[in-house]
Structure 1
């Protein structure tokens, strides 16, 4: 055999898609694991022509599931972001869109047994330690993907997947405000460095000469913006205690602007070297928290809700996303939990093949 076959599910989770594996079906060593994922996705070519990636950052994501040793969780979700062209794998961040497929995938894999018409799956995000409750539709004890829920950035409708995120404050850096400041000035631009589900350096669109309503394609074509943004992002990473983030996809970068379509605030999210076509679930939580926190760069852009829980509607490049935020205003802003509704669908199941020279398989080598 010149190739190693690895069982997998190929799923759309929210507005992302990628392979979902059992962690036990992959090499334990992270360097070998990275090589396997690079080969499976086809990183190294703009079209991922030699793998199952889709040529964009939202289609080169990987989920790895295992039974959890956590006293609270049932499923451990280990995430990997594979680069499109650079043959790099980042095990640092997590992905909330891909997470929306974890509950259904765990049921498909026989790791969770459906209970009643709606099955709760308690998930630990291994990369960040966050706890998430996913409510999956299982009418009559059977998993379904059919439903009337629509999300911007995914065609048609499907069964809702309700996600409740807990323990997301300081998920990567250990602090809500990793620099200790509501605002920092980097290269002449005011930024709020915040860590809620995902560490992000957040700025005002107008400070880059932008409206904040540009399309993802227009932003991706604006090389002057990226040339100015990236040094700010790197310095923000240093100030957030994340070290040299030159080759890391975190911290991400976000832009805010006043709403124009009856939402709470307009937002654009960067992954970070290109524009997210919609909005990341993790990024949405952080951007919503920034919008709700007095003293951040969001001041003056919105009318802040004063009662909790509050629905924050982020206007993004393809529509809107709603974030239900449970917070306290006593002694400053404190985020308790955040909830979103996504959808997911199984697309393929079977085996994905990688050259045996990269990994001969778990039966013969780890």
Structure 2
């Protein structure tokens, strides 16, 4: 009797990790020191580890053999460590893991998962225990490594532990939880200007679309805003109306790519394809009644404007936290397309040029969200002091993730 020789494969390795929801996203959280030594530094090894952990690249676009949930909102990784800065508690690095392509995009932040950073940091010893009250609120100062900015999170504490349950409701999340106010300080991405072109409204010449007015803003995350009416929409669309339309997705990608060029994020239009996480592209419209994806009726009288945003090539089911920061910033500045949509009674009614706003409530596919920002004109340039919103976060699972040892 003969025996067929079997190939010897490396066993799986086990890495301590926590699976968390933050806002309307969820992802796998790691302490930097828990990663394999070769993955503790940026580079190909770290990227390969995260790709295999998530189950990417997957031509089926399901991420069945990994932790990813096959959407941009659920294919995310976070790496945290004690901050090297005396002014911050924790350093926060975010990776957007592509689903069907072999890359991890490190070019921006995740505003939703930012709400989970404070709770994770407290629970995992990254915040000085002396600063944590038995009951009350602890302010966690976060250094966002991707965009080199400060985020301040107010985390509720009960009996010395993070309070996760509560009655705060967030549209796009089925169950209530504890409220976590998050402030994004000076949220212009990197060292760039709020408006990279110096204009509140630019004109993009997009092949197949034509000349298109756009607000190109660099707050929270670089974002390209266009008017819904200019591209054939009304602003009340839900995911299926966009994501099932191949021509529409191609149009939005073309708009995004040309916006990236104008913002100076890429040097050639083809480079945008390998920078999917940024910029975002969104379309805005004046308020109107619609039915959210949950079936709940959203009354136009209760919101200031409509916003729909795309992430990683698909219409987002709610709103990315960083894009919400961009919305807050743009709404606070008179004359942007976002501000004008919030100030108009009907599409195209921009005769009054907008009005100053410190906060807006906008409608998105899952419901509505209130965001605020403080904007000031300093020496001829707009500056956003901070943008504020409330989110929630919760630990879903903690333990270890298993990754084949020969995959990175």
| Correspondence for 1:39 among 36, 52, 55 | 52
Per-residue deviation, 1:19: 0.5
Aligned to 1:30: 43
Q: Distance in 2 between matches of 1:149 and 1:305?
A: 30
Residue-by-residue CA offset, 1:210-265 (whole Å, 9 max, x unaligned): 11110022111222222222222112112211113221121110110001222111
Matching of residues 110-129 of structure 1 within 5 Å:
110-112=125-127, 113=129, 114-115=132-133, 116-129=135-148
Residue-by-residue CA offset, 1:39-90 (whole Å, 9 max, x unaligned): 1111123221110111111000111100111231110000000011212210
- SS at 1:245 equivalent: helix
Matching of residues 336-351 of structure 1 within 5 Å:
336-351=385-400
Aligned to 1:75: 90
Per-residue deviation, 1:332: 7.0
Aligned to 1:185: 203
Q: Distance in 1 between matches of 2:312 and 2:403?
A: 28
Per-residue deviation, 1:301: 2.2
TM score, norm. by length of structure 2: 0.84
Q: Distance in 2 between matches of 1:65 and 1:298?
A: 34
Aligned to 1:289: 329
- SS at 1:217 equivalent: helix
Per-residue deviation, 1:291: 2.5
Per-residue deviation, 1:173: 6.0
Q: Distance in 2 between matches of 1:110 and 1:344?
A: 18
Q: Distance in 1 between matches of 2:341 and 2:258?
A: 25
Per-residue deviation, 1:299: 5.6
| Correspondence for 1:318 among 361, 366, 383 | 366
* Larger deviation, residues 323-332 vs 190-199: 323-332
- SS at 1:298 equivalent: helix
Aligned to 2:169: 150
Across the two proteins, how many residue pairs are aligned to each other? 356
* Contact 1:8/1:349 (<8 A) preserved: yes
TM score, norm. by length of structure 1: 0.93
Larger Rg: 2
Structure 2: runs of 5+ lacking an equivalent: 1-9, 206-210, 289-299, 344-353
Residue-by-residue CA offset, 1:183-214 (whole Å, 9 max, x unaligned): 22112111111000100111001111011110
| 1:161 has 2:180 as partner | yes
Residue-by-residue CA offset, 1:99-128 (whole Å, 9 max, x unaligned): 111111112212223324111111011000
| Correspondence for 2:107 among 92, 103, 113 | 92
* Larger deviation, residues 318-327 vs 92-101: 318-327
Q: Distance in 1 between matches of 2:340 and 2:161?
A: 48
* Contact 1:312/1:325 (<8 A) preserved: no
* Contact 1:173/1:195 (<8 A) preserved: no
Per-residue deviation, 1:290: 1.8
Distance 1:299 1:153, change over 3 A: closer
Per-residue deviation, 1:333: 4.9
Shift >4 Å, 4+ stretches? 329-333
- SS at 1:246 equivalent: helix
Q: Distance in 2 between matches of 1:206 and 1:311?
A: 24
Structure 1: runs of 5+ lacking an equivalent: 360-366
Q: Distance in 1 between matches of 2:146 and 2:21?
A: 20
